Every structure is written in structure tokens, then in C-alpha cells.
Structure 1
Amino acid sequence: MEDATERTALLSGSPKPAANGSLSAGRNGSPARPNGRGSPVPVAVGDRDRITLRWADIHVSAPARGGGCCRKAKPEDLEPIHILKGVSGTVEPGTLLAIMGASGAGKSTLLNVLTYRNRGNLSVEGTVEVNGQPIGKDITAVSAYVQQDDLFIGVLTVREHLRFQARLRMDKHIPHDVRMARVEEVIIQMGLSKCADTKIGTPGRKKGISGGEMKRLAFASEVLTNPPLMFCDEPTSGLDAFMAESVVNTLQGVANQGRTILCTIHQPSSETYALFDQVLIMAEGRVAYMGPTSEVIDFFGSVGYACPPAFNPADFFIQTLAIRPGKEEKSRDRVEKICDQFQEVRENKDSKKQLAANHVDYGVVEDYSSRSRYKASWLQQFLAMMWRCHLQNTRDPMIMGVRTGQAIFVGLLVGIVYLQIEYNQDGILNINGALFLMLTNIAFSHIFSVINVFPAELPIFRREHGNGMYRTDVYFLCKTIAELPYFIVLPLGFTAICYWMVGLYAGWQEFLICYAIITITANVSVSAGYMVSTISPSVDVAMAIAAPMLIPLMLFGGFFLKANSVPVYFIWLEYISWFKYSNELLCINQWSPVVNITCTEGIPFCLETGKDVLANLSYDEDNFYVDLYALIGLMVGFRLLSFIFLLIRSWKD
């Protein structure tokens, strides 16, 4: 009766009060109930949610190295590099498996194969099954992956980060208050209460939480959703022995509720090692042992490598299977002997027991390929991402302070240099120079302010997008929309300072048109910056591309070269140069209403009106709307291209 009541409460979204007044847990991230030791753990999963993971005869090889440009290829360089050689194994629900081995043993490669990530150009053979069904890349729909590198948005606090994760990684039907309750439970569970409202920080730039707290936050982000299958890549790296044991103890508590958990771990302490149910020891891409932790010492003893008393078993296994410098051949012979012996022991097991293990009654098998990789709806993704982007923009002084200061400083500088220009023959050149300088400053400042946006966040985007948190279009839209107010307000301040200090045509209508042109130009530059940003793999590459791209576009902007003097073979550059359209628009707006320009004595050719100035520049007033539509087209086109480039990069992941 109590179980039925609990199920009803969970399905309705209302957590059921426990006897001690705490909340019981629901599936997919609802609150957890205490485990008796003061640490909340998730409740057991139902039979349909339990996962048996099996991989069979996994072979992984990398392409041959080949010869270099300065040396002849050796015979071994022409052969593929075998990383994994016939690796097989099975992990049942409720099991915590440790994957161990010396450096280069193949631990990370096996984890990448099982999680269908970071395969690159590797050749992979074999099968990976979930509940007896080949799973492929759809494994991300039923699993969580705690990666070794800690990647976070540094301006968010610990609590804000977990709330963002909860909004996007929990099932749609879970109410908001239940999600937030789960966040608070995980904060307590992972020992993050003291730093819950502390900004995470960016290593090397802004100090935040400690390395140990950052590692626990990475683990908390995955524990949040109570996944039935978990992969952890070195979850204890960077932690002291006590905290490492605490993390593994938490993993054990999660596994005891029916989860299947695999993690790579590097030489754990003996106390931490004892917490694992099973261990997979790898060496030279082969399996040296896989089975219960309690039997591994007996196996190594049976092949002549007994673990000394009072010695950490994990250290002993790693040292025994390590390839020692100067003794490579002897070490490889020892590894081959142990791996062959284990293979023989596995093959000689009782045939009935082996038959039963290979033909488990998995029960109902779900079609995981039919599951959407996104837990949140498009609107939920959009709102959550907009919230995070807003926090990033308002809390980053590089965005708020530097951009504002730059606009004011350059505006004042241009205004002082061209202060109150007189409308005479010399003033024509000065005014045209001031207009073009306004355009170039707007273009350079705005394109360089955004070219680091996507390269800087690309690792975070790849991870979160790979985890099915949000779509590429949601990410791109939110990043661009969140920054749009800055690219509307900052041009206003810049234009207001320059326009009246320089002494451009004194009319409010002309001023507003000038502001509109400058704003559109700023956003075209931003769009071009986004395009460069999405193409570039790093900020340095983006910086190297942006400047050479702007120079030829400036040359065909109408200031350095008249519009009717462009060589025919460069005409295509003129069409994509927003400087050309913007400069013509500003000149038309400035000179069209001017009816009197003072002539200087001694000059044989005098421009008496603004229309004469436009004719001298080969500009036509009838092109006003053509230029305006061209700028809007470039703005939309560049943004569309940048989105396509980002989409291509997300597909490659």
C-alpha cells in the first residue's frame, strides 16, 4: 500500500514525505531520501530502467603513422596502431565497476567506445549492447558521463549552474519546485553547501571555488538526473584521499539503488579500492582481469604474482602490469602471460554458468533510438539558455566595462580631432574622413568584441550539446539575442558624441538616420565576427583571420577608392563590403540637405552644394534604400553562415 502511494505521489509530481520529514526521491532527478548516514541517495530504479551493459570483442586501431617529410617510413609506421584488442565484458545493474591500468593501457579509449564519444579517426570493431540491444550513439539518451576536464561558465555560482542543469536535463514532466529541491539535495550530498553561492570562477583568469569543489560540482551535475547508467572518467582526480573516498562511496550508494556505473580510476587508495564491486584491469589494450574485486588477488596469486600483505592491491596491479623503461620486452611478456591466463580462466568456466551469463533474460527492451536526445522542450531550452547568457553578459566586466569605455573614448577622440568642422572645401574632406572613421571604428570594435565568443565556449558547447542539453539553434539564437542590446545602445552613445562634436548636419532627423546606419553597420560587423568565430578553432586563429579580412573590405568602401574606379576583377569584394554601403548611406544623409558650401579662393574647382559632393564621390541618392537593404542582407547572410558553420561543428561532435 505504501509503495502504491509513493508511486502515485511521484507520478503526480509531488514528493512523498518520509517518516523523518524529508522528501523521498523520484526518478530522473527528484529529491533523494537519506541513506541512514546523513547523505541523501537516489531511490532504486524500476525494473524497466535497470541497464545491463555488455561489450564484446572490441578492437580499436588508429591509422598508420606513415613516413614524415624528412624521413623514410619504417615498416612499423605502415601498420595500424592497435589500441584495444578483443576487449569484452558485462556490467549488471547495481554494480560499481572500476577500470584500472597503467598509462596507455586503453582505459580512456574503452570509455570513449562505450560512450560513443571522441572517436576521431579511430577504427572501431565489436558490439556494445544495452539490455541485449545494440545501442550506438543513442547511449547518450540513457546515460551520464562525468568527464575528467572540469568545464564551467565561470560567472555562475554553484547553485545557478546546477539549476541550469536541472532545467535542461530532467524530464519535461518534472515540476520546477521538484527540480529545485533536487538541486538542494545534491548540493548537500556532494558537500557543496559552503560554496553554493560562490562563483565558480575561471582558472587563470578569475578565482572561484577550489579544484576539489570544482570536481565535486562536475560529479553533482551528472548525479542530478539520477541516470540509470553512468560513466565517470577519473572522478577522483584532484581530490584528497578523504574526498576521493567520499565520492566513490556516493557512487556506491547510487549503484546500490540499481544503477550501472563504470569509472576509470588511477591508483585509488586501498579504502577507496575496496568500495568497488568489480574491477576491470587493462594492460596493453587487453583485459588482464575482470570480475569481483574480492577475487582479483587470488587470480594474480594463481599466476605467480601474489600481492604482499598490507600492500595496496591497486598499486600492486598497476606496477605488475606496467611497461618498465629499459625492460620493455620482459614487461610485455609478463603482461601477455597474465592476459592469456585470464582468457583461459574465463573460457574454462562452467559452461552452464557461461551460457546463462551470455543469454540473460533482459525482459522488456526499449527502442532507445526513438527517444529524443533532448529532455527539455525547445522553449524550455531557449528560456534557460537566455537566463544563463544574461547572467554572463551582466556579470562579465569585459563586456560591460570595456565595450562602454571604448565607445565613449573613441567617440570623444574622433570628436576632438574633427571638432566643429567648417563647411568649406577643406571641410568636405574632413567630414568625409570623420564619417569613414566612424564606420571603421564601429566595424573593428564590434567584430573584435565577438570573435572570441564561440571559440572560448566551444569545449563547453560541445559537452553540453553532446549531453543533449540544448539544440544548436537555441544556443546560437540565445548568444546573439542576449548581446543585441549592447549593439544597439553602444552605437547610440558613440554616434551622439561624434555627431554633435564633429558638427555634422544639424538636424534631428539626420542624426537619427545616422544613428540607424551606424547601428546596422555595427550589427553587420557583429555578424561577420560571429562567422569568423564559428569557423575558428581558437581565439588566436579568429584574431589572425579578422584583421586581414577587414582590410580589403575597407579599401572598397568608397573613401580610399572611388566607386567607379574599382577593378573589374575585384568587383565581388565591393559587393560584400559593408563599408561601401554604409559610407554611401552616411554621405547621402550628410550631404543631401546641404545647399551651401563656402568656396576657397584660388581653387579652380569648387563644390558648392552637397549634391556636388555626392556626384564627385560617384554616389547616387537613389541608392539609399538599395544600400540599406544590402546592409540588412549582409547582416542576415553572415549570421546564417555563422549558424551553418556552428551546426557543422556540432554534427562533427
Structure 2
Amino acid sequence: MGKTKSNFVQRLGKINWDLAVGKDENFDHTIQALRKALAAEEALVRMDSHHTYAEKIQRVEDVIAELSLKKCQHVQIGQPGVLKGISGGERKRLALASELLTNPSLLFCDEPTSGLDSFMSYNVVQMLKAMAETGRTVICTLHQPSSELFQMFDKICLMAAGRTAFLGTPLEADSFFKKLQAPCPVNFNPADYYIQLLSIIPGREESCMQAVKNICDEFEASDIGRKIKQQTLAAPTSISGDIWTISNLQLSPYKVSWFSQFRAVSWRCWLSVMKNPRLTKVRCVQVFFVTILISLLFWQQKYDQLGVQNINGALFLFLTNATFQNLIGVITTFCGELPLFLREHKNGMYRTDVYFLAKMLADIPSFTILNVIMVSICYYAIGLNPEWPKILNTIGISLLVVYAVMSAGYFVSTIAPNIATANSMVTIIVTPFMIFGGFYLSVESIPPYLIWLSDLSWFKYGNTALLINQWQNVTNIICDRTNTTCPKNGEIILESLGVKMVR
């Protein structure tokens, strides 16, 4: 087991190196290895911990072969209308494949052919038929199955008005309805006929309900119905001990440990970032544009009265850019994946804290690197305080603001029901914090009943920290002799802005 994990780590290192140096001849093999590793990581959280890593990899290969997914195993799943990916039938088989990793003996499928054409529906049902022949019990509901699909079922169950109208083989169904003097016509789809026979037609509710009642009563009185009822009767059991005693033993729904879940989900989140280079390129272009714009507008400011005003504005632009750029980048993180998370979490794949930490750690590197690049370039282009520790302080303050903004974005993403609502909430969240940040409105003039908004504003703390870092111990401000209001040093600038330094 330890050797297998070591080989896996070495393979991941090889993957990262190939991506970093950009080897074109190895790119296809690298992407294939990434996707296969993704399937393996899903198996890690779905299969029990007593299985070795090699056994889980082999199980992934077996399921891919069993569901005929070999030809599309290196194709992205895609998103309908956004990103082209696998077909509808392959998507259905993939959903079944994720459930078959644990090799269940009982499988429930709720309308697996919905949205598929007749050919794709036949392929999916044929696959379910093959799975049933291997010893599994497959129970599924179908919406208007064709005659070909109907003939593939071993047993059918017809229900109407909350009662069972029939349960048995298709041949038994044909014999049952013949006895009721309602045989299925020749060359007619039996599924359509039975649905029509048990339907409640508007305007004829009473007669239809009476017909359904007669059919259900006849089935219960038939030999098949009595046999099924006898088989389903529960055997009497004796209760021993105190039935109101609550056991302290709590079984965990998760198959693997917290660390294994975190490793698997983190790897999947990182792969989702790697397989979406378009979003990364858009962020890079956005940061490049803002960096060039700020650098050109505030190029090499002089330490005079006009330069002081421009430098203060540039510092606040650092905060506003970090806010909107990073907030919009994370507000769609959870609301877009909420259905997927709820399904996998309730299936016992991973914990809530594992998912949150993994998504957060996957976003942090790109946001951190882009912000450091922008602040570093703009710092020297504007000509801010040249002391070496000052630039490190500016980068650190900016990163703290970025992380605070990301936290606010995650909060919005968790409470917003959809992406459109999350986007509309950005202005509601940002505007009050920006107003009470101390740049547009003096903190001392804020009413007491609204001061709490200022205390929660990252603009306030970020702007104060950047101003102190920039103007502390600055004494070389150029002033004209005719201007008596020109600040002579950095302490006067901070005092005029209402910034108080703690000594």
C-alpha cells in the first residue's frame, strides 16, 4: 500500500512538471493521466477504506469497460449549452458508473431515459439489462417506454391511484388483462396501452377511478396478487430489552477518513481549475489591463500636494480592484455546484468542511499570485515609499484584504439560491462597506448607530494600514511657499485623513 501511494505521488509530480514546462509531446498523455487520476480519487471516497489503491484503480477500469465508456474516458463531461462534452447517453452511463464503483447489489434508477432519443434510451436500458443479468437487482421507472424497451424488462409494476394494478412478468400481464376482457390490441405498444387503461381522463374522473379500483381489486384477488401478499408478510419478532434505550453507537456514513476525503476532493477541485483555462486567462487579462491602466495614470508621482492626493487614490484603488475582482470570482463557487454537493454529501462521499476547505484552497493560489503581481508592478510604477519593508507590507495588506473579500464572496455564494441572485447581491454587500471605509466619509462623522458597518469594513482596515505604511516617517514632501495648507510630512497627512497611529 505504501509503495503504491509513493508511485502515485511520483506520477503526480511528473504530471505537474509536464504542465509547468509545457511539453507538447507529453500533453495528451498528461491530460489522460489527470482524468484517470480524477476517476481514481472519486473511487477513493466512494469505496471502503479496506480496499487498496490498486484495487480501487482496477475497479475504475472494470466499470469503464462494463459500461462501454472506453471511447469517451478522456473527454470532458462538459456543460449543456456552455462547454461541449460527452453525449446524453454517455452522460447517463457515467452517472451509473459513479454508483457502480461500490458494486451495489440493488440499484434504483429514476427515469434513466429522460431526455434521450429512442436509440440512446435503448442503449441505456440494454446496459441495465446486462447489469441485471450479472446478479444485481435493478429497479427503474420509465416515462413512456417503447415496445422494444418494454420487452426487455423481466418484471413490470403498474400503479394507479396509490395502489398496485399489476406486478409480474410481461406475459403474466398480458394474461391478466385478457381475463379482465381488456387485452392489449395486436401491434400496439403494451406500455402505452396499460398507461392509457389506468389513466384518469379529465371529465370522466368517476368512471376512470371506478375502473382503476376494479383492476386493483382484481389483482389483489388473483393468484399472483395473493402470492405476493403472502410473501411480503413480515414474520413476527420478539422484542427483548428496553425498547426506549438509545444506543450510544453512532455509525459514520463516510467510507474513508477525513484526510482521504480532503485529498480526493482537493485533487478534484484542482483538476477543475486546470481543465478550465479560459477562466484563468480571463482573470489574467483583467489583472493585466488594470495594472497597465493604474501604472500609466499614476506613473512616478512626486511627493507634493497633488502627488499626495493621487497616491492616496491609488492606494484605495488597490482595495476596490481587489474587492470587485476577487468577489465576483468566488460568488459563483457554491451556488453553481450546490445540487452536486448535496447529492454527494448525502451519499456519504465527503464532509461539508472538507468540501469548503478544498474549494477555498483551490482558489487561493491563483488569486494570491495575480494580486502579488499587480501590486508589485503598480508599486514601483507609481513610485510609492521606496523602503524595502514597505513593499512587503503593502503586498501583505493587499493579500489580507483579498482573503477577507473571498470570505465575503463565499458567504454570498452559500446564501444565494442561484448565480443571478449572487451577482445582484454584490452591490448590496460592497457599497455600505466602501462608503464607511473612511475614504469617502470620515469615520469620526459616522452616526453611532451605523459605526458597526465601519468596524466590519475591510476597506477601513486596509486603507488605514496602507496609508500608515506609505506615509509613516515620510518627511520629504515638496510644498510651495505660497501654499500654507500643504502637509509638511507624513504624520500631517495621516492626521488630515483621520488616521490615528498607535505608538
Q: TM-score, normalised by structure 2?
A: 0.86
Assess if the C-alpha contact under 8 Å between 2:89 and 2:124 holds in 1.
no
Distance of 1:253 and 1:415 partners within structure 2: 65
Aligned to 2:463: 583
Distance of 1:572 and 1:251 partners within structure 2: 60
Distance of 2:213 and 2:79 partners within structure 1: 45
Q: Which amino acid aligns with 1:275?
A: M
Q: Which amino acid aligns with 2:252?
A: S
Aligned to 2:18: none
Assess if the C-alpha contact under 8 Å between 1:563 and 1:617 holds in 2.
no
Aligned to 2:398: 518
Aligned to 1:27: none
Assess if the C-alpha contact under 8 Å between 2:34 and 2:271 holds in 1.
no
Aligned to 2:233: 358
Secondary structure of the structure 2 residue equivalent to 1:456: coil
Aligned to 2:342: 462
Assess if the C-alpha contact under 8 Å between 1:558 and 1:580 holds in 2.
yes
1:291 to 157, 165, 168: 168
1:604 aligns with 2:491: no
Q: In structure 2, do the counterparts of structure 1 residues 361 and 425 end up closer, same or farther at CA, with 3 Å as the change threshold?
A: same
Aligned to 1:228: 105
What is the root-mean-square deviation of aligned Cα atoms in Å? Answer: 2.5
Shift of 1:160: 5.4
Distance of 2:271 and 2:358 partners within structure 1: 12
Secondary structure of the structure 2 residue equivalent to 1:622: coil
Assess if the C-alpha contact under 8 Å between 2:89 and 2:121 holds in 1.
no
Q: Which amino acid aligns with 1:489?
A: I
Q: Which amino acid aligns with 1:281?
A: L
Q: In structure 2, do the counterparts of structure 1 residues 325 and 563 end up closer, same or farther at CA, with 3 Å as the change threshold?
A: same
Note the 1:612-627 alignment, pairs <5 A. Answer: 612-622=492-502
Aligned to 1:168: 45
Aligned to 1:423: 303
Q: In structure 2, do the counterparts of structure 1 residues 186 and 460 end up closer, same or farther at CA, with 3 Å as the change threshold?
A: same
Q: Which amino acid aligns with 1:385?
A: V
Assess if the C-alpha contact under 8 Å between 1:156 and 1:199 holds in 2.
no
Shift of 1:298: 1.8
Aligned to 2:179: 302
Distance of 1:304 and 1:157 partners within structure 2: 61
Shift of 1:617: 1.3
Once the two structures are aligned, what percentage of the paired residues are identical?
A: 44
Shift of 1:243: 4.8
2:433 to 524, 538, 553: 553
Q: Residue by residue, what CA displacement relative to the aligned partner does 1:467-506 show, whole Å, maximum 9, x if unpaired?
A: 1111111101100011111222111111012111111111
2:376 to 475, 491, 496: 496
Q: In structure 2, do the counterparts of structure 1 residues 525 and 177 end up closer, same or farther at CA, with 3 Å as the change threshold?
A: same
Distance of 1:618 and 1:173 partners within structure 2: 63
2:84 to 182, 185, 207: 207
Distance of 2:392 and 2:360 partners within structure 1: 24
1:403 aligns with 2:278: no
Assess if the C-alpha contact under 8 Å between 1:215 and 1:239 holds in 2.
no
Secondary structure of the structure 2 residue equivalent to 1:404: helix
Aligned to 2:210: 333
1:483 aligns with 2:363: yes
Shift of 1:517: 0.5
Assess if the C-alpha contact under 8 Å between 1:514 and 1:589 holds in 2.
yes
1:322 to 199, 205, 223: 199
Q: TM-score, normalised by structure 1?
A: 0.67
Q: In structure 2, do the counterparts of structure 1 residues 227 and 346 end up closer, same or farther at CA, with 3 Å as the change threshold?
A: same
Shift of 1:412: 1.4
Q: In structure 2, do the counterparts of structure 1 residues 204 and 157 end up closer, same or farther at CA, with 3 Å as the change threshold?
A: farther
Q: Which amino acid aligns with 2:79?
A: T
Shift of 1:328: 4.3
Q: In structure 2, do the counterparts of structure 1 residues 356 and 542 end up closer, same or farther at CA, with 3 Å as the change threshold?
A: closer
Assess if the C-alpha contact under 8 Å between 2:42 and 2:264 holds in 1.
no
Distance of 2:315 and 2:33 partners within structure 1: 41
Q: In structure 2, do the counterparts of structure 1 residues 563 and 304 end up closer, same or farther at CA, with 3 Å as the change threshold?
A: same
Distance of 1:302 and 1:525 partners within structure 2: 72
Q: Which is worse superposed, 395-404 or 255-264?
A: 255-264
Secondary structure of the structure 2 residue equivalent to 1:304: coil
Aligned to 1:270: 147
Secondary structure of the structure 2 residue equivalent to 1:191: coil
Secondary structure of the structure 2 residue equivalent to 1:290: strand
* Bigger proportion of residues as helix: 2
Note the 1:80-95 alignment, pairs <5 A. Answer: none
Q: Residue by residue, what CA displacement relative to the aligned partner does 1:362-417 show, whole Å, maximum 9, x if unpaired?
A: 9xxxx9x9543111221111111111111111221243112222112111111111
Distance of 1:333 and 1:598 partners within structure 2: 98
Aligned to 1:473: 353
Note the 1:361-372 alignment, pairs <5 A. Answer: 371-372=251-252
Distance of 1:361 and 1:229 partners within structure 2: 25
Secondary structure of the structure 2 residue equivalent to 1:305: coil
